[in-house]
Amino acid sequence: MAQAFAELKESFIFNFIEGARWKYITNGLWVTLKVTFFALLLGIVIGVVVAMVRSSYDQMKDEMKPGLGKTLMTALNALARLYLTVIRGTPVVVQLLIGYFVIFVSTTNTVFVASMVFGINSGAYITEIIRGGIMSIDHGQFEAGRSIGFTYIQTMRFIIIPQAFKNVLPSLANEFIALLKETAVCGYIGLMDLTKGGDVIRGRTFSAFMPLIAVALIYLLLVVFFSWLIGKLERRLRSSER
């Protein structure tokens, strides 16, 4: 037992302390958090906008009078559906490589490219989550808002979205966790994220156990921490129910 512990300690020193290799992990962690944060921001913005377009179209297409407004909505809806089909129909690694080599050709800022790609990717999933939330609110609520004189936007802003948000929070948290772990493929475009950092150590020390377990533990801790935060937020929002 004592010997196994000593070996473990030696392996730890070799993998992380020697040559200050722990810096690969900390720098990588920082990059992972940066990419996840910006991707989530972008994803939520895209998600809310596209979900509004999709759900409004679905709810109002029969009531709208033919004219510029209806044509515009139809076009926007078609665009949104195309976006959802393409993004949800292709693997994120492929999107990442396309983003890096084909779309954002002129930029050398890899964190930016990764954030954009993961944001656009996540946006598609968040769209469907939020659309589900909006559709789950009884249509009567919407009609009530309109009949007391709220505009469409006001009804959305003050009545529908706050209730929908509470409903979608668990799924949204799920998407956030998935996003955090999905960024592990950033290494494909030469970005030193947490996974790649562990990989570099593995390539230098040729030991699999320490770097992989360390990286896995850090992801796990992050997810546990963020789940706890979101759990708190959920309880806080629920307090208005009684």
Partner 1 sequence: MKKTISLILCLVFCFACFAPSALAADKVLKVATNVAFPPYEYYEDEKVVGIDVDIVQAICDKLGYEMELSDMEFGSIITAVAAGKVDVGFGAITITEERAKSVNFTTSYSTGIQSIIVKEDSPITGVEDLEAKGIKIGVQQDTTGDIYATDQFGEDHMARFNKGADAVQALITGKVNCVIIDNSPAETFVAQNKGLKILPTAYAEEAYGFELNKNATELYDEFNGALEELLKDGTVQKIIDKYISAD
Of 47-55, 74-82, 125-133, 192-200: span binding partner 1 (CB under 8 A): 192-200
171 or 205, CB closer to partner 1? 205
C-alpha–C-alpha distance, residues 219 and 187, integer Å: 16
- Return the structure tokens found at 118: 């993961």
Instruction: Return the number of the residue (182 or 199) whose C-beta is nearest partner 1.
Output: 199
Q: Read out DSSP for 166-224?
A: HHHHHHHHHHHHHHHHHGGGGGGGT---HHHHHHHHHHHH--SHHHHHHHHHHHHHHHH
Choose the stretch contacting partner 1; rule: CB under 8 A; options: 55-63, 166-174, 188-196, 216-224: 188-196
Burial profile 61-70: b = 16 or more Cβ within 10 angstroms, e = fewer: eeeeeeeeee
Q: Is the Cβ–Cβ distance between 230 and 56 less than 8 Å?
A: no
Instruction: Kindly state whether residue 196 participates in binding partner 1, applying the rule CB under 8 A.
Output: yes
The distance of closest approach from Cβ of residue 190 to partner 1 in the complex, given in angstroms and rounded to an integer, is 4
Compare residues 89 and 203 and give the one whose CB is closer to partner 1.
203
Site for partner 1 in 201-230 (CB under 8 A): 202-208
Contacts of 169 (CB under 8 A, 6+ apart): 230, 233, 234, 237
Residues in the chain: 242
Site for partner 1 in 60-119 (CB under 8 A): 100-101, 105-106, 108, 110
Under the criterion CB under 8 A, does residue 188 sit at the interface with partner 1? yes
Which C-beta is closer to partner 1: that of 54 or that of 202? Answer: 202
Question: Is there a contact between 164 and 133 (Cβ–Cβ < 8 Å)?
Answer: yes
Question: Per CB under 8 A, does 27 bind partner 1?
Answer: yes
- Judged by beta carbon, residue 100 or residue 176, the one nearer partner 1 is 100
Ordered alpha helix ranges (H), 61-160: 68-88, 92-98, 110-136, 139-147, 152-155
| Closest approach of partner 1 to the CB of residue 204, in Å | 7
Binding flag, residue 11, partner 1 (CB under 8 A): no
Nearer to partner 1, 23 or 232 (CB): 23
Q: What letter represents residue 197's amino acid?
A: G
**4 close to 167: Cβ distance less than 8 angstroms:** no
Q: Which is nearer to partner 1, 112 or 165 (CB)?
A: 112
Distance between CA 57 and CA 77 in Å, rounded?
Answer: 7
CB 205, min distance to partner 1, A: 8
Query: Is the CB of residue 51 less than 8 Å from the CB of residue 127?
Result: yes
Q: Contacts with partner 1: how many residues (CB under 8 A)?
A: 23
CB of 27 to partner 1, least distance (A): 8
Positions that interact with partner 1 (CB under 8 A): 23, 27, 100-101, 105-106, 108, 110, 187-190, 192, 196, 199-200, 202-208
